[in-house]
Amino acid sequence: MRYRVLGGTGIEVSAYCLGTMMFGAIGNPDHDDCARIIGAAIDRGVNFIDTADIYSAGESEEIVGRTLASRGDRDDIVLATKAHFPMGEGRNRGGNGRRWIVREVEESLRRLRTDRIDLYQIHRPDHTTDIEETLAVLGDLVRAGKILAFGCSTFPAEQIVDAHHLAERRALPRFRTEQPPYSLLARGVERDVLPVVQRLGMGALTWGPLAGGFLTGRYRKGAPVDLGRGRAALNPSRFDPALPGTAAKLEAVEALTALAEELGRTLPELATAFPQAHPAVTSVIIGPRTMEQLESALKAADLVLDDATLDRVDEIVPPGTDLYRADGAWQPPALTTPALRRRPEADRSAA
């Protein structure tokens, strides 16, 4: 396993990061099985584990914390978690403000059975909270020893830059990492996020290498899709082969599958190896639900994609192109709130 320094922090992390979103009620409810997956990943050289408070409402953090405590190797693991999304009903139970972050850090520490979090990440932007508020409380938590470094997740490039410049102006600690979606079918971050991360000396922990299942080989052109099960049931419009967007993804999957076969590898192996080729990427998050899925991901660890292969990939999915928009990727209010992009009717004409 290769190791890289995380965003100038001096912390060395494995090129694979074990993502634990699928541990708990929303994925694998068998805690003992999840513990075996964590142990197998660590035994194979993975020293970086990523979780979040929202994953199965804290259950994922509890599984990770219990496993590391029982193994006795917490000090050998770089442990990352996140906060932002609402945890339960009621007001002020989410977001990026001081009131919530201070509370939720303590909750994560309790669930993870640890006295510090190595990397604490802001899971999504929050347009209701000034970024100075967020950076200030994160800096206070670093000084208190509760967290050692902090980063952001799925932030657009302009907000990463704004946060960096504000940190400089206010003499505040800055985001050290960004966690963007990045895959063979989701290459939009190559346009701006990854170049910004490189320029600012940040680490990039990419998620979603299998593009929501499209790069597992499960969905193929001409094959029926059960829109009543799994991810397809949650968002049928993303998987309906009759829609042009889905048809384009399936065309790309066919070409990428053929390329993987020429290399003597599987499509998931090609997909997992692809983000490793980008110089901005520090670690690729793999999120297995089963031991078999972990083993499949680890098989790609020795796969080196040469320039000729990457040129072929560029022909199939051009650089900077998003054929797949990752679930949960952030959308700015300017797009989600019609009133922000529509003048009053009386002012919409040129005359």
Catalytic residue IDs: 55
Identify the burial level of 43 via C-beta atoms within 10 angstroms of its C-beta, where 0-12 means exposed, 13-18 middle and 19 or more buried. Answer: exposed
DSSP-assigned beta bridge partners for residue 264: none
Encoded tokens for 320: 């900077």
The CA radius of gyration of the chain, in Å to the nearest whole number, is 20
Q: What is the DSSP string of 296-332?
A: HHHGGGG----HHHHHHHHHHS-TT-BSSPPTT----
> Which of 254, 222, 263, 277 shows the shortest CA–CA distance to 323?
254
> Could you say which DSSP state residue 141 is in?
H
- Residue listed under structure tokens 């300017």: 334
DSSP-assigned beta bridge partners for residue 186: 322
Give CA 216 to chain center in angstroms: 18
Q: How far apart are CA 199 and CA 175, in angstroms?
A: 13
Say if strands 3-5 and 12-14 run parallel, antiparallel, or are unpaired: antiparallel
DSSP-assigned beta bridge partners for residue 14: 3
User: Angle of helix 59-71 relative to helix 31-43, nearest 10 degrees?
Assistant: 60
